Chain A
Amino acid sequence: MIMERRRFLKLSAASMGCLLFDPALSLAAPAETKRLAMLYDNAKCVGCRACQMACKQWNKLSPVSTDPQGIYESPRRLDPNSWTQIRLARYPVSAERDYLFMKVGCMHCGEPACVAVCPTSALKKQPNGLVTFERDLCNGCGYCTQFCPFHIPQLEVINRLTGEAKSSKCTFCQDRVAEGLRPYCIQSCPAGALDWGERDAMLEKARERVAALKAGEFPQANLYGETQLGGLGRLYVLLAPPEVYGLPADPKYPAISTLWQKIVQPVGQAVFGATILGLVAAFFAARRNVHMEEVE
């Protein structure tokens, strides 16, 4: 088919226009996605670590060798292959019991600092509240590991010299949740200490549990995660003050992250832009004003 030049240009312009037009804009706004959350009931947890095993199983994480060290935790801390961990805290919580368990993992903050500092968008905050991670996009900069108020993301350093590394953290089994399933650790819990659902419903449930525990033998019972850092996606029914478990009572969004992302970087780009514009203007002014016959 022979096409006139004018017609070709018209068609090209029209197709370019279609490409530039974001189809998402034309669709009606999707129904509001409800924020999801995990609820951990400290009073029910028996510290069996089935959740640790399940996590490794679903996410295909290698086992980590831990020598017997005469302590309960195994592994001792989170690592690139251990995204959740049961910790033990010594605390006289009742007359019969002087220890507490704690399930550690990504909090899926409402205001995640890791997402703000990630230069690759490997970490994203989803409308359903999950802070997801795409390993392929991660370049190993490790900023997330340095800005998380809970020190959760773990950096697997492959080569310190070249900087090759990969970050990792609990994703609430993002692949399962995307299919309408629950995180794998939840269904492994034999004690029913873990629950999953819409955050509002989990909060409701947590409040009821705290009230019941307070009325019973745990007067210090409290709910952790309702308001901290934009509200956490991991809610805790605790039997003792958060500090006992190593949780910061009032975790702070890193101020340097705000300063860096919201002030320094935009200001820097403005400085570069202004410098270029200034130099271009100076060049044209100098070209008009400088008489080359006077130049040595």
Chain B
Amino acid sequence: MSVRLKGTDSAIMIRWIPKYTTVERFLHWVHTASFIPLALTGFVLFAPWLEPLAQGAAGVTIRLIHRIAAVFFGGVPIVYAILQPRRMVLNLKEFLTFSRYDLLWLKGAFPYYVLGRHEEMPPQPRFNTGERLTAIVLVLGTLIFGLTGLPMWFLKGVMPVWLFQLAVIIHDLMFIITFAMFMVHFYLAVVHPMMWQSLVSMRYGVVSESYARAHHAMWYYGEKRAKEMWEQHRREVGH
């Protein structure tokens, strides 16, 4: 695709590489649109200073919104598994694949994301270490939210109280982890200057060739070639 530069006659060519399917993008936004109300309504019961919102009719509404949003949140992985099971398995496999380069990512994350040192970032596959860790926590989180939330919803008074109490506290702990993670995810995907294409990819499903090269070299060049390039680069800069 060629893009005409504003106010000039010149144009540049951008090659776009598909990263997400339409179903994935749609489900991502359903996930977002359900997670935010879930988190906010959950937070009302969590933070004592929001107590007025938890009281009486307001509280009943808050709890109802939480339930409706939960249906959508829980529905996302189910719909994904039905519509694109192969893509789901492929992604799950990728989430669970770690290598030595993930340690290098952890080491390089601060200099890269905060100090802007591009050379510190080792090559990454289609999902970088942080994305994969986020995805794993989210998959486990969804399971745990479901396993604790559904009994609290339908089995209150039926299940033993110690189990209910345990479910409440696990649900809360999972909320702390996932909500903090969501804030980091939002920052990196929407706010961070270097990651502007991540939002593009979740909207249009593609990333530019140059972005893929810089951020996901193992995906773009293949693992072997990307590693060779990285080692060669490290030798050249004298590491």
A interface residues with partner B (beta carbon < 8 Å): 119-122, 136-143, 145-147, 151, 155, 157, 160-164, 254, 256-257, 259-260, 264-265, 267-269, 271-272, 275-276, 279, 282-283, 285-287, 289-292, 294-296
**Cα distance, A254 to B153, chains bound together (Å):** 21
Q: Do residues A296 and B214 form an inter-chain contact, with CB atoms below 8 A?
A: yes
Chain B residues in 8 Å Cβ range of A119: 44-45, 48, 51, 54, 59
Chain B residues in 8 Å Cβ range of A285: 114-115
Q: Do residues A279 and B164 form an inter-chain contact, with CB atoms below 8 A?
A: no
Chain B residues in 8 Å Cβ range of A155: 156-157
Q: Do residues B187 and A296 form an inter-chain contact, with CB atoms below 8 A?
A: no
Chain B residues in 8 Å Cβ range of A296: 197, 208, 210-211, 213-215
Prevailing SS type, chain B contact patch: helix
B174 smallest CB distance to A (angstroms): 11
With contacts A120-B59, A163-B63 known, is A264 near B183, CB below 8 A? no
B96 within 8 A of A: no
With contacts A268-B175, A296-B211 known, is A164 near B51, CB below 8 A? no
Q: Do residues A260 and B172 form an inter-chain contact, with CB atoms below 8 A?
A: yes
**Cα distance, A271 to B211, chains bound together (Å):** 32
B191 within 8 A of A: yes
Q: Do residues A260 and B169 form an inter-chain contact, with CB atoms below 8 A?
A: yes
Q: Do residues B51 and A139 form an inter-chain contact, with CB atoms below 8 A?
A: no
Selected A-B contacts with CB under 8 Å, 11 pairs: A151-B161, A162-B64, A164-B60, A256-B162, A260-B168, A279-B183, A282-B113, A282-B114, A285-B115, A290-B193, A291-B116
Q: Do residues A138 and B165 form an inter-chain contact, with CB atoms below 8 A?
A: no
B148 smallest CB distance to A (angstroms): 13
Q: Do residues B45 and A141 form an inter-chain contact, with CB atoms below 8 A?
A: yes
Chain A residues in 8 Å Cβ range of B46: 265, 268-269
Q: Do residues A162 and B67 form an inter-chain contact, with CB atoms below 8 A?
A: yes
Binary per-residue interface labels of chain B (161-198) against chain A in the complex, 1 for a CB within 8 Å, 0 otherwise: 11011101100110110011001100100011110110
Closest residue of chain A to B61, judged by CB? Answer: A139
Q: Do residues A295 and B164 form an inter-chain contact, with CB atoms below 8 A?
A: no
B238 within 8 A of A: no
| CB-CB nearest 6 A-B residue pairs | A139-B59, A290-B116, A289-B116, A296-B214, A268-B176, A256-B165
A7 smallest CB distance to B (angstroms): 34
Closest residue of chain A to B47, judged by CB? Answer: A269
Q: Do residues B56 and A147 form an inter-chain contact, with CB atoms below 8 A?
A: no
**Cα distance, A252 to B46, chains bound together (Å):** 24
Q: Do residues B183 and A139 form an inter-chain contact, with CB atoms below 8 A?
A: no
Q: Do residues B154 and A160 form an inter-chain contact, with CB atoms below 8 A?
A: yes
Q: A282-B187, A290-B194 are in contact. List 17 more A-B contacts (CB 8 A).
A: A122-B55, A140-B60, A141-B45, A141-B63, A146-B164, A147-B165, A164-B60, A254-B165, A259-B169, A265-B48, A268-B46, A276-B183, A283-B187, A285-B114, A285-B115, A295-B193, A295-B194
Prevailing SS type, chain A contact patch: helix
Chain A residues in 8 Å Cβ range of B173: 264
Chain A residues in 8 Å Cβ range of B187: 279, 282-283
With contacts A162-B64, A283-B187, A296-B208 known, is A143 near B169, CB below 8 A? no
Chain A residues in 8 Å Cβ range of B4: none
Chain A residues in 8 Å Cβ range of B183: 272, 275-276, 279
**Cα distance, A107 to B140, chains bound together (Å):** 41
Binary per-residue interface labels of chain B (199-232) against chain A in the complex, 1 for a CB within 8 Å, 0 otherwise: 0000000001011011100000000000000000
B219 smallest CB distance to A (angstroms): 14
With contacts A146-B165, A162-B67 known, is A120 near B51, CB below 8 A? yes
Chain B residues in 8 Å Cβ range of A257: 165
**Cα distance, A140 to B58, chains bound together (Å):** 11
**Cα distance, A160 to B152, chains bound together (Å):** 11
Closest residue of chain A to B215, judged by CB? Answer: A296
Chain B residues in 8 Å Cβ range of A146: 156, 161, 164-165, 168
B86 within 8 A of A: no
Q: Do residues B56 and A137 form an inter-chain contact, with CB atoms below 8 A?
A: yes
**Cα distance, A291 to B179, chains bound together (Å):** 30
B135 smallest CB distance to A (angstroms): 19
Closest residue of chain A to B182, judged by CB? Answer: A275
Q: Do residues A279 and B161 form an inter-chain contact, with CB atoms below 8 A?
A: no
Q: Do residues A256 and B63 form an inter-chain contact, with CB atoms below 8 A?
A: no
B130 smallest CB distance to A (angstroms): 13
Closest residue of chain A to B57, judged by CB? Answer: A139
Chain A residues in 8 Å Cβ range of B166: 256
Binary per-residue interface labels of chain B (133-153) against chain A in the complex, 1 for a CB within 8 Å, 0 otherwise: 000000000000000000001
A256 contacts which of B47, B62, B117, B169 (Cβ < 8 Å)? Answer: B169
